[in-house]
Amino acid sequence: MYSPGMPSLTRKTKRTGNGLRAAALSVAAALLALALTGCTTLRTTAPSAARAHAAADAGTARFGTVDCREAKCIALTFDAGPSEHSARLLDILEEKKVPATFFLLGKRHIEKYPELVRRMADEGHEVASHTWDHKILTSLGAEEIREELERPNKEIERLTGHRPTLMRPPQGRTDDTVHAVCRELGMAEVLWSVTAKDYKTTDPDLITRRVLDQASRDGIILLHDLYDGTVPAVPGIIDALKRRGYVFVTVPQLLAPGKAEPGRVYRP
């Protein structure tokens, strides 16, 4: 999925004669300006590429209980929690024996439900960051971006004993400045390939159909456990995808034997 709001660098125009040279200089200047302001073409790494890069050193070793080089893996991820629905979601995941990756918000979420953050980590889920206050990072300067990421990092580490290494930028909006701050903080960015747009509906059946229609091997499913229709859809999503032969994994398991590299953006 392309990050919303990212500028296109491939506009087509027709010019002739000496105008071509001037146009080329103009484009070069524009590209330089975009690079300096952090608004450049989004480059992403697929899970399969992350695994392939590490394969030479890994040999034939297995990673945890699942090897996604062989298994038909898919990652279930939830943004913007914890919420009043998260305890029920964790019950479902425990019952179905499915790990998930949680990209948590700080303000009004981690602050309000610290016991659920601990439970997520204790039950084997990956706990990651969705920023402190859901600000659009591409509209901020480097210091403000750093603040948006460091605050939830510190709280998650305090609650779980582990500092997050993954983050998801609000609305998927990212640029070179965001990459640079993430690299500095030791974090990789994770986007998605499946979205149910559950923020627009409370219908669990519709959410389920949207996920199933888009699911594919190495997919990363984006859901939000704070919306009323989402958690009721989860059991059906899990059961249907298991019947199709999918194995659920966390995002780090999806990349293994590769590891998420700070400053990189991962997307199927």
**Active site (annotated) includes residue 130:** no
DSSP, collapsed to helix, strand or coil, labels residue 3 as coil
Q: 18 vs 15, 176, 248, CA distance in Å?
A: 9, 33, 58
| Residue 162 CB neighbour total at 10 angstroms | 11
Exposed/middle/buried for 61, CB within 10 Å: 0-12, 13-18, 19+? exposed
DSSP 111-144: TT-HHHHHHHHHTT-EEEE--SS---GGGS-HHH
CA gap 253, 126 in Å, rounded = 10
**Active site (annotated) includes residue 79:** yes
| Residue 54 CB neighbour total at 10 angstroms | 15
Q: Which candidate in 176, 218, 224, 225 is catalytic? A: 224
Q: 1 vs 21, 43, 231, 266, CA distance in Å?
A: 34, 12, 23, 11
Q: Which candidate in 67, 79, 175, 198 is catalytic? A: 79
Enzyme catalytic residues = 79, 224
